[in-house]
Structure formats: structure tokens, C-alpha cells
Amino acid sequence: MPAMSEWKKERNIAIVLSAGRGSRMHTQTPKQYLDLCGRPVIAWSLGAFEAFEGVDDVILVTSSEDIEYCRSEIVEAYGLSKVRRVIPGGAERYLSVWEGLKEAKRIRDQGQEGPAEGGYLFVHDGARPLVDSAILERTLADAGKYRACVAAMPVKDTIKASDEEGFAAQTPDRRLLWQIQTPQVFSFALVYEAYRKLIEEGITQVTDDAMVVERETEVRVKLTEGSWKNLKITTPEDLEIARLFLRQDYNSSAGR
């Protein structure tokens, strides 16, 4: 495995995750394929990266049984030319990201005399359809400054930490608490090495990519302003809220 100093050539790649089944939606159709104002949820997420000039390639990670559907009904149907690969994910989110990272490395190294250097990697949940260019621009800029950042918003409510019996045990200072979103954006070499070490160590208790970088490196992760519109579709109520936001944006752009 090359040291970070050996990486060559810059390229920005996004991994969009679409392998979840979404049991809380109470529907047989996975949440990322549900209709949202005339197109599947995942098509909105991919469309944001298609329109963003700061990303060169997109890797869509989905379940093995959905690969052909995604290729024909999502990528081809909506003209998503930046989606270079549609690949199967792993049993857990972090394993799906690792599959995406390995594929991203292959894309980056094609035609190169040595392993590619530079560039940034976005990781985004396909069930966050309202990510926009402003969020993508802010996170890419902060990744350039700090090497690692995540879209996030300060929490609105008081948060309680409970004990094992369900009683309030601690009240953290709300001013220091953030609700984490995606995309999470990193120097490619940094996040690849962090994940490689994690997999090598057999660590499984990770919930997001920033946690991997925090655990395996000394790089601090910057919290970058996301948006309250950048919600994750998890319940039927989330889908209705997303529809409301999209209708508001349409009416605003139409001057209504």
C-alpha cells in the first residue's frame, strides 16, 4: 500500500449510498426508490452531484438485486452521465463505503503510471434528496482547508443522555451539539487510509465516515453548515416534508 506522499493527480469522486431497505417507511419499496415529486428519491440525490462542477465521477452503491434497476431506471432514465459505476454494497454501511472507496481508487488509477494523488471524496446518503450546490460547495471548500469535514446543523432542542434504565443522566451543552448530515468530504488519501486501517483491524462499531477518520488519524473533522432542508428520508413524514420543500422551491423559482 503506497504512503500518502506517493499519490498522484487530483480527481474528485462522490460515493452515493443506496443499499438500505428503510424498514421504518412501512413499505415494500426501499425508501430511496419511492416517488418524490415525479422521480425516485435517489434520482434527486444523484442529480445534485450531476449538476455540481466540483465532482468528476459518481459511484452508486446499492444492493446486488437492485443494480440493473438502478442502471436502467435511474442512471440511464435520468441521463446521469457522471455515474461511472453501479456496484453492490456490503452488509453494513461502512462496508458499502469501503466497496465504494476501492472502486474509486480503481477509477483514479486508470491510465496512471502510479497511484493517483490529491482530490477529494464525497460520501452521501442517497436518501438525502435535497442536498444542493451550496452545501456541496461549502463542504468541498472546507475539505480543501481542513482535509475532513461533514455537513451538519446545530441542534434546536435540548438533548438528554440517558442511563441504561431510561432515566435522564446528563444534559450536554446544546451550544456544542450538532446534528450530522451528509455529504461528508475528505482528502481521498486520508479517508482511504483510514478505512483501510479500520478494515484491517476488524473494527465494526462505526456509524459514519467522520468517525473512521477520527479513530484512525489525528486529523480533526470540521463541522460545515448544511441545511435543515437536507433531511434524510426515514419515515413517511419525512417524505411529505421533502415534497413540501420541493414544491416551495418550484413555486419560488416560478415566481408564484
Q: Which tens digit of pLDDT belongs to each residue from 43-78?
A: 999 999 999 999 999 999 999 999 999 999 999 999
Q: Which CATH architecture has domain 7-151+180-253?
A: Alpha-Beta Complex (3.90)
Q: Which tens digit of pLDDT belongs to each residue from 165-219?
A: 999 999 999 999 999 999 999 999 999 999 999 999 999 999 999 999 999 999 9
CA–CA gap between residue 156 and residue 148 (Å, rounded): 24
Say which residues have a Cβ less than 8 Å from residue 198's Cβ, sequence separation at least 6: 94, 206, 212, 215, 216
pLDDT at 229 over 60: yes
CA atoms within a 13 Å half-sphere pointing along the CA-CB vector of 48: 25
Q: Which tens digit of pLDDT belongs to each residue from 107-128?
A: 998 866 666 678 999 999 999 9
CA distances from 34 to 48, 144, 246 (A): 17, 35, 15
